[in-house]
Structure 1
Amino acid sequence: MTAFRLSTIGLLAFALLSAFIAAGAATAKAAPADDLYKLCRQVRNDDTIRPYSHELYAGTLKAFKKLFPDATNAPREQELRTQASYRCMNGKVLACFVGANLPCTKMNAARDNPGADEFCRTNPNADVVPAFATGHDAVYSYKCASGKAVVTDSSWQLDKRGFAKKLWAVLPEH
């Protein structure tokens, strides 16, 4: 009887675990275009960063051209897969393109920056603290004065959700 109960419990646990894993795999996929537009209209604001979806290709290219009007070439599909991301704000789908010093994450708006502090300890009078020290998501720029990090400017203007405004563009619907 005990062996039967353990094997039954084991099978139930395995079935539940399998269902949980399958559900997680389904949510990790990029949402179809209509579903993402619908989701954004329903939830209004969702800071979840979603991966590129080919179903959003045409709108993604338009958003890219809006953000980078001087770009001579449109990105290829492979580049979009690695660089394009989406989120919801004000009921709209927004697109961002990750690149060198182009973070598509929420920004770090703290004035105190441990990375800048550490950099300034070893470079006490540096005119600029580089992004590798502050983090690419740092809102502020820093310099070093007598071994201490000093804010010099605000590099990014943030939207009301805490993302860099100039890195996100509304994705046009169809």
Structure 2
Amino acid sequence: MCAASALQKAIHARLTGDAELTALIGADGVCDRLLDRQRLPLVVIESIESRDRSTATEDGEEHWVTLVAWSKVGGHREAQTIAARLRALLHGADLPLDGFHLVSLLHRSTRLAREGTKALHKAEMRLGEPAVVAVCHVGFPVVEDRRMTVDSGLVQPLLV
């Protein structure tokens, strides 16, 4: 399994395992695509953008995750409520990844909008971390690697 797939699987598990989010969107309310005539509200794992961030000695990737909360209720309130729950579940979350280590997962932005001429509202959320804000982030968005640790404010290879 690649790192992006492991991350998507972990995010899906976190979202579908939360009773409060399930009460908002239903038991089958998290998916990776929006289909015609699909029941709303809904959370779509819309995209994961991946970049290589390997060093000369260690493998590493950064991932930008886009989630979209869809609603057909008039106004933004329902989409905002769902987006707030997504942020609470994922911002700073220490998700277990099969075969990889997640260094950070941080909420970067949420954009509310009405979808064209349709009576749909959405909250589009981006997760990642492009700036140095804490010791273990070191300027990378959601960074995954196989063997890394934090020492003196720098990410160092883990000596085995």
Say which structure is richer in helix.
1
Which bracket does the TM-score occupy, shorter chain normalised? under 0.3
Higher radius of gyration, 1 or 2: 1
TM-score by length of 2: 0.25
Kindly indicate which of the two structures has a greater share of residues assigned to strand.
2
